[in-house]
């Protein structure tokens, strides 16, 4: 049983969330494993079991959600008990399930960052923070896209989401998107413009190499394309077109700004408290469960683009 040190807490994990960064961390040259052995997963929902010296804001018995548990440590949330710095733990409101807690972390904090990188935009999210803005979420049926839809709507934005078919359209609708566009049919740019006559302020982009022409066709002048992922290694840009639009490209990775990540976690907790961050099929993000012994299969499911939030249940 691991013991929490100064500034740390021990959490009994009820649900561990799986993200693409988990399988990539064991296989990519860009981010090699920093330890010979790692207990994976950054995200989780559970209950505080013990606290170390100096921890005053959390106590045994508190329901919590954890973020970045395996960052800078060799033990994450794919186990019954884990020890993490208290700074990476937030209260899990009573109205939220442990599945919600395990679905925040990487997806919700990434979505928050994407929604707050515009040059003259807000750095914090709260009700009315994005009033008057239009947000386009590419891939609204994915975990980050789902969180972006929910956070943007909670903050007052008009939310448009692109999807690849009717099943994913149903998920993005359940998540709360105001307008859904199938990018494989008809004239998606015209359909997006129908919901955003003046153009889109922020695009939360998962596949910029594939979507760049559509993005530039609907982006408002001085708009922002926030790129958090892409399976393609390169994107080709029309320089003149981007100059004319005053396009802002913001490529982002979550782990590089601890202060902004902490502020985002506080905003996300408030959104959860307001009931804005639901999961499950009825909220647009089906839960796909694996027992702890099948953690490898859970990571493979994420790698194969499972339609929903993949979680591991240590208690099972």
> What 3-state DSSP class applies to 83?
strand
> Pairing state of beta strands 8-17 and 81-85?
antiparallel
Rounded Cα distance, 250 and 205, in Å: 10
pLDDT, averaged across the chain: 94
- Alpha carbon distance 150, 26 (integer Å): 30
83-97 tens-digit pLDDT:
999 999 999 999 999
Q: State the pLDDT at residue 28.
A: 67
Q: Specify the CATH class of 107-254 in words.
A: alpha beta
pLDDT of residue 29: 64
Q: Hey, what are 62's tokens?
A: 């508190």
List of residues 6+ apart from 82 with CB closer than 8 A: 2, 10, 11, 13, 39, 44, 66, 69, 75, 76
* Average pLDDT value for residue range 34-61: 94
pTM check: above 0.75: yes
pLDDT in tens, 94-143: 999 999 999 999 999 999 999 999 999 999 999 999 999 999 999 888 99
pLDDT in tens, 189-231: 999 999 999 999 999 999 999 999 999 999 999 999 999 988 8
Mean pLDDT of 175-195: 96
Which conformational region is residue 164 in: left (phi greater than 0), alpha (psi within -120 to 50 degrees), or beta? alpha
Going from N- to C-terminal start, the domains of the chain cover: 8-103+285-313, 107-254
Burial of 59 (0-12, 13-18, 19+ CB in 10 A): exposed
Q: Please provide the CATH number assigned to the domain covering 8-103+285-313.
A: 3.90.180.10
Q: Is the pLDDT of residue 31 over 80?
A: no
Q: Where does residue 249 rank: exposed (0-12), middle (13-18), buried (19+ CB within 10 A)?
A: middle
Residue 34 pLDDT: 76
- HSE at residue 16, side-chain half, CA atoms within 13 A, is 34
Angle between helices 143-154 and 105-115 (to 10 degrees): 50
Instruction: Give me the numbers of helices (H) and strands (E) for the chain, helices first please.
Output: 10, 13
Structure tokens at 256: 């590089």
């Amino acid at each position: 049983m691991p013991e929490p040190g100064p500034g740390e807490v021990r959490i009994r994990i009820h649900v561990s969330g799986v993200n693409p960064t988990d399988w990539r961390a064991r296989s990519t040259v860009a981010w090699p494993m920093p330890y010979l052995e790692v207990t994976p997963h950054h995200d989780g929902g559970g209950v505080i079991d013990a606290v170390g010296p100096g921890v005053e804001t959390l106590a045994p018995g508190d329901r919590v959600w954890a973020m970045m548990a395996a960052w800078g440590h060799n033990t994450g949330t794919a186990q019954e008990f884990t020890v993490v710095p208290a700074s990476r733990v937030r209260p899990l409101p009573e109205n939220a399930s442990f599945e919600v807690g395990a679905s925040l972390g990487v997806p919700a904090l990434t979505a928050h960052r994407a929604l707050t990188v515009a040059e003259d935009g807000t750095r914090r999210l709260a009700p009315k923070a994005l009033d008057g803005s239009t947000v386009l979420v590419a891939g609204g049926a994915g975990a980050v896209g789902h969180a972006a839809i929910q956070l943007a709507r909670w903050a007052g934005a008009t939310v448009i989401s692109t999807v690849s078919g009717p099943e994913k359209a149903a998920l993005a609708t359940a998540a709360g998107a105001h307008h859904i566009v199938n990018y494989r049919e008809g004239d998606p740019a015209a359909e997006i413009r129908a919901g955003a006559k003046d153009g889109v302020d922020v695009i939360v982009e998962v596949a910029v190499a594939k979507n760049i022409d559509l993005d530039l066709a609907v982006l408002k002048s001085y708009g922002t394309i926030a790129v958090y992922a892409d399976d393609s290694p390169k994107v080709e840009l029309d320089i003149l077109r981007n100059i004319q639009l005053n396009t802002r490209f913001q490529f982002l990775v979550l782990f590089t700004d601890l202060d902004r990540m902490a502020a985002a976690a506080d905003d996300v907790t408030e959104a959860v408290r307001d009931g804005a961050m639901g999961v499950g099929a009825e909220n647009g993000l089906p839960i796909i469960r694996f027992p702890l012994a099948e953690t490898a299969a859970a990571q493979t499911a994420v790698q194969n683009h499972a339609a929903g939030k993949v979680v591991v249940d240590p208690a099972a």
